């Protein structure tokens, strides 16, 4: 930048904006303060470069035209810009410098991931993601609007919608079974990095038959497609969920993959291509507007659009993940029951619309473990995802959640292939969650649709010298409740331990404020809880 002006340990007016002076120096640390002839700045002690490196645009522009060399550089901080609006000889000019700033400076100016006016004629922007600030892109016009959809001419499919995008507008194109297929999506910056396609296109590593493009201006991914009418953007009214994003070729990731926030459905598209007699499968995991998934008849399921082209959509957190083999329409089987060392156990398998879970403690020197199907929200609150950890406020109990395989919650010597009898009744609404000493550890007053009986287990623990009572509310198969002697009743001790429990078979029959009665209904069960449970059932 200094060479372009040219400035070397000197100052000069900017070409095109004589009202703005620029200086460059390298003769000592913080020499730019001395060059600016400012004496009231206390130069701080340099902080260690412990921030994660990102890529930021750098360069100086006057009235939108670059007057220096411009391009990306690594930044241990945030991408930043400063704009000076000046007037000389009745001519107005805007000088903008794009650069890298320490995060502390951006925070001090109240510009974290936003743009702001410091005073009249002086404004700036900061953001903390790769390529988030360029002459064509800034936090002020984020989120970027992108076209998301599918064009498959031979199948007569041309659907799409406009959606906000926190990455880049993107396309994938390939010949699939003789059809020229193009998918349109919002791709994460990491995916575009892997394509080496910044406002350009490139073939996929490992699958040269598929090309990918990325760009960062509104709806730029259909700029060359006059055959696709631009739909009217819909308001962002969908509830945010967390979706897996990443690009894979033949099952191997070719980009950084991870979770991102999605205002729509988690989605995937798979292209099977052949080049030089070599077959490859390219898969992209992303976020799609719900309307696109519905138009492709993929709501909460996977489908084949035409031979060689398939996809999936689902509308709950982490419902689509190749690492855990989680796909909509693939039932997760979880073991539900009790194990008390050395050899007592009661339980059976059940289909789970959540995660396999367990709670484990030590009673009188022996391990006691309960197995559950837990809603994802419960596992979130416990902060265990394919992992284990102590329960908040009751470290005597360890909680685990997993979904990488059927019955993944069982490590003990148990025959898990006992299947609960087929459910033939009407689902009921049951409380779901964990409470310690009467306080909710997970989301309070959460109900699920249950094809079994509402159940409660109470752990009275004192391993660390502090007494606690942990209550878990769940849905259990009727056969498990019966095997524990709790069908439509309560027991004060399971296998002689300090763990007690209850089961009951009507709506809201057991909650922190309701104890099950031998039969009949409960007038304390609210209509709102019933509606919540019906909604949960419909989403299954």
Q: How far, in Å, CA of 427 to CA of 73, rounded?
A: 58
Q: Which of 274, 156, 134 is nearest to 209 (CA)?
A: 274
Q: Positive or negative, the Cα torsion across 509, 510, 515, 516?
A: positive
Q: How far, in Å, CA of 288 to CA of 265, rounded?
A: 5
Enumerate the domain spans of the chain. 10-127, 145-314, 333-504
Query: What's residue 535's pLDDT?
Result: 41
Q: How far, in Å, CA of 441 to CA of 454, rounded?
A: 19
Query: What's residue 337's pLDDT?
Result: 92
Of residues 139 and 70, the one with the higher pLDDT is: 70
Average pLDDT (127-151) is: 83
Query: What's residue 515's pLDDT?
Result: 82
Q: How far, in Å, CA of 237 to CA of 253, rounded?
A: 32
Determine contact, residues 358/372, Cβ cutoff 8 Å: yes
Q: Which of 376, 381, 239 is nearest to 321 (CA)?
A: 376
Q: Which of 302, 356, 357, 301 is nearest to 333 (CA)?
A: 356
Q: What is the pLDDT of residues 102-118, one digit of tens each?
A: 888 888 888 888 899 99
Question: DSSP secondary-structure letter at 405?
Answer: S
Query: What's residue 484's pLDDT?
Result: 92
Q: How far, in Å, CA of 467 to CA of 44, rounded?
A: 51
Structure tokens at 181: 């297929």
Q: How confident is the model at residue 277 (pLDDT cuts 50, 70, 90)?
A: confident
In the chain, DSSP finds a helix count (H) and a strand count (E) of 7, 36
Q: What is the pLDDT of residues 35-57, one digit of tens each?
A: 888 888 888 877 665 566 788 89
Query: What's residue 383's pLDDT?
Result: 83
Say yes or no to pLDDT of 395 above 90. Answer: no
Q: How far, in Å, CA of 70 to CA of 64, rounded?
A: 12
Convert 169-183 to b/e letters by CB count within 10 Å (16 or more is b): bbbbbbebbebebbb
Q: How confident is the model at residue 302 (pLDDT cuts 50, 70, 90)?
A: very high
Say yes or no to pLDDT of 518 above 70. Answer: no
């Amino acid at each position: 930048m200094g060479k372009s002006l040219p400035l070397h340990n000197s100052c000069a007016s900017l070409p095109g904006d004589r009202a703005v002076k620029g200086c460059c120096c390298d003769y000592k640390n913080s020499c730019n303060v001395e060059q600016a002839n400012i004496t009231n700045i206390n130069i701080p002690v340099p902080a260690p470069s412990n921030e994660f490196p990102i890529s930021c645009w750098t360069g100086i522009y006057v009235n939108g035209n670059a007057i220096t060399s411009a391009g990306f550089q690594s930044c241990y901080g945030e991408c930043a810009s400063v704009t000076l609006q000046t007037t000389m000889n009745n001519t107005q000019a805007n000088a903008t410098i794009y650069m890298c700033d320490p995060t502390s400076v951006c925070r001090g100016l109240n510009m974290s991931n936003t743009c702001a006016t410091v005073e009249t004629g002086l404004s700036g922007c900061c953001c903390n993601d790769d390529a988030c600030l360029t002459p064509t892109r800034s936090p002020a016009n984020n989120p970027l609007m992108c076209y998301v959809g599918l064009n498959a001419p031979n199948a007569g499919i041309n659907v799409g919608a406009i959606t906000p995008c926190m990455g880049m507008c993107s396309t994938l194109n390939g010949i699939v079974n003789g059809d020229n297929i193009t998918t349109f999506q919002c791709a994460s910056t990491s995916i575009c990095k892997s394509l080496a396609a910044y406002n350009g296109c490139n073939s996929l590593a490992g699958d040269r038959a598929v090309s990918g493009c990325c760009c960062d201006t509104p709806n730029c991914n259909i700029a060359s497609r006059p055959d696709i009418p631009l739909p009217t953007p819909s308001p962002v009214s969908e509830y945010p969920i967390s979706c897996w994003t990443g690009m894979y070729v033949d099952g191997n990731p070719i980009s950084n993959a991870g979770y991102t926030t999605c205002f729509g459905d988690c989605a995937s598209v798979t292209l099977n291509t052949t080049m030089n007699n070599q077959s490859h499968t390219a898969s992209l995991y992303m976020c799609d507007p719900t309307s696109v998934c519905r138009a492709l008849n993929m709501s909460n399921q996977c489908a084949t659009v035409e031979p060689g082209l398939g996809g999936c959509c689902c509308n709950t957190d982490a419902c689509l993940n190749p690492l855990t083999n989680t796909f909509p329409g693939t039932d997760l089987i979880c073991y539900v029951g009790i194990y008390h060392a050395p050899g007592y156990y009661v339980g059976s398998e059940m289909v789970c619309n959540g995660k396999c879970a367990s709670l484990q403690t030590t009673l009188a020197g022996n391990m006691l473990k309960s197995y559950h199907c837990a809603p994802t929200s419960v596992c979130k609150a416990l902060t265990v995802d394919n992992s284990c950890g102590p329960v908040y406020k009751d470290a005597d109990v360890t909680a685990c959640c997993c979904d990488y395989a059927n019955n993944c919650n069982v490590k003990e010597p148990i025959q898990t292939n006992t299947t609960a009898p087929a459910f033939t009744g009407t689902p009921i609404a049951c409380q779901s969650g964990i409470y310690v000493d009467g306080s909710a550890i997970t989301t309070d007053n959460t109900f699920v649709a249950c094809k079994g009986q509402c159940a409660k287990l109470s752990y009275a623990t004192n391993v660390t010298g502090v007494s606690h009572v942990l209550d878990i509310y769940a849905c259990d198969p009727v056969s498990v409740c019966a095997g524990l002697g709790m069908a439509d009743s309560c027991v004060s001790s399971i296998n002689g331990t300090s763990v007690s429990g209850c089961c009951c078979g009507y709506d809201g029959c057991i909650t922190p404020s309701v104890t099950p009665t031998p039969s009949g209904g409960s007038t304390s069960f609210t209509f709102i809880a019933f509606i919540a449970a019906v909604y949960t059932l419909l989403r299954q």
